Structure 1
């Protein structure tokens, strides 16, 4: 069933029109970001997916853009080919299914790129992804900002936005190389950029009042995402600074 999404008229995500976006982002708290609001790119990938190495490499190359922050999710539904996904988050398939419903897809697939939670595309075309990034950069900043202090975060809005979920994503910073022993990519070194390891629902925000909460990354690298409950549009995100001693 089709959804009327906030982004259809507020940020004009253009997925319905056949136009897309992609994901730029700063690798730190960007509450004071000026002209260009960073964008998050999520890639759903698998060691046993024959097309995924190409998508992985495209995302690695695109990560050189400081306005892009990529996250790679390992998905478990290719494990029938014999290779276990050691970093597949327990609820990653639920997240991808939610995206599939939002974008009226038949179901999850790989390699899938989701741009700022607001549009999706195959991960095999850098040109298409960059085209989507261009359109995201032109859209209205929703005016939501995350700020961090030691062991806590706060969310502030300059206006009123829809109710949003707050997600914590633990990830392995930089490049992680996996070498599957089975499947179509057996014996091949597969690099992944910012490989996600865990997805935690921190809470829900009403989209109006300022919110402050503690946050614990368990000593790992992690990002915090504020994402609309109904449309899944990413309103803001930030890399949580390492705790100071």
Structure 2
């Protein structure tokens, strides 16, 4: 098989895998963002509930490991200051004085405890089709060495946010509150990057695909997200996700 045919086959495979994650193109119902930590003994039930959501069609599920529990003796191997900053940004948007784990944010609009998969899925279904749902179509696909993003028309303005994640990661926790336990984490965010602005008109953009393969990332989500006057994350009005290959 020639190089061009191999590249084409790989791109088609990536697109198919991505649709399996987020649902059929245009059918994404909602986004759930979990804020969790390997050093939090209340988080394992939420991580298991979150795994259930990653397998449900039509849901873009992203897990942000925060780093503020590291002082308990275990440094979260998937945590980052950027993930913590995003959670604090949501706290300001919701008018909260602090943050906690495990916390779930639905469509950038609603925050709730993250231990009940049925409650989280139910909230997504409740918001779908309302003003709190996703109302702008977002598509993403690999085209050769580029990531092509297409966003449909609508009203208002929003940031185009690209979130890179690892589909699956097994971790042995050696210290802290969860010492001696082995966990499997799903869709853990490795990086968050702004990619541009949307002003209500249909827009297409192309990004280098190399980042998908950097630092072990094998999945990407594109969020169309509004911001507060102070620049903190707010309502998500469109989203999609794709992956490069099946989970382990």
Which residue does the alignment assign to 1:152? 147
Which ranges of 4 or more aligned residues in structure 1 deviate by more than 6 Å? none
Cross-structure match for 2:10: none
Superposed CA offset, 1:167-200 (max 9, x none): 2222111x32222111111011122111111112
2:93 aligned with 1:102, yes or no? yes
User: How far is the alpha carbon of 1:115 from its aligned partner?
Assistant: 0.9
Q: Find 2:158's aligned residue among 138, 155, 164.
A: 164
Q: Which has the higher helix share?
A: 2
Partner of residue 53, structure 1 = 44
Q: SS at 1:84's partner residue?
A: coil
Equivalent of residue 192 in structure 1, options 185, 189, 204: 185
Task: Pick one of 221, 225, 228 that aligns with 2:226.
Answer: 228
Q: Does 58-67 or 79-88 show the bigger shift? A: 58-67
Contact kept in structure 2, 1:39 and 1:115, CA below 8 Å: yes
TM-score by length of 2: 0.76
Considering only aligned residues, what root-mean-square deviation do their CA atoms show, in Å? 2.4
Say if 2:42 is the partner of 1:27.
Answer: no
Does the CA contact (< 8 Å) of 2:34 and 2:114 recur in 1?
yes
Aligned length: 214
Residue of 59, 64, 73 corresponding to 1:73: 64
Aligned-pair distance for 1:149? 4.7
When normalised by structure 1's length, the TM-score is 0.77
The structural deviation recorded for 1:28 is 5.0
Question: Residue 135 of structure 1 is aligned with which of 122, 126, 137?
Answer: 126
> In the aligned structure 2, how far is the partner of 1:74 from the partner of 1:242?
21
Residue ranges of structure 1 left out of the alignment (5+ in a row): 1-24
User: Post-superposition shift, 1:53?
Assistant: 0.3
3-state SS, counterpart of residue 142 of structure 1: coil
Structure 2 spans left out of the alignment, 5+ residues:
1-18
8 Å contact kept, 2:63–2:186: yes
Q: 1:29 to 1:168 in 2, by over 3 A?
A: farther
Distance 1:90 1:234, change over 3 A: same
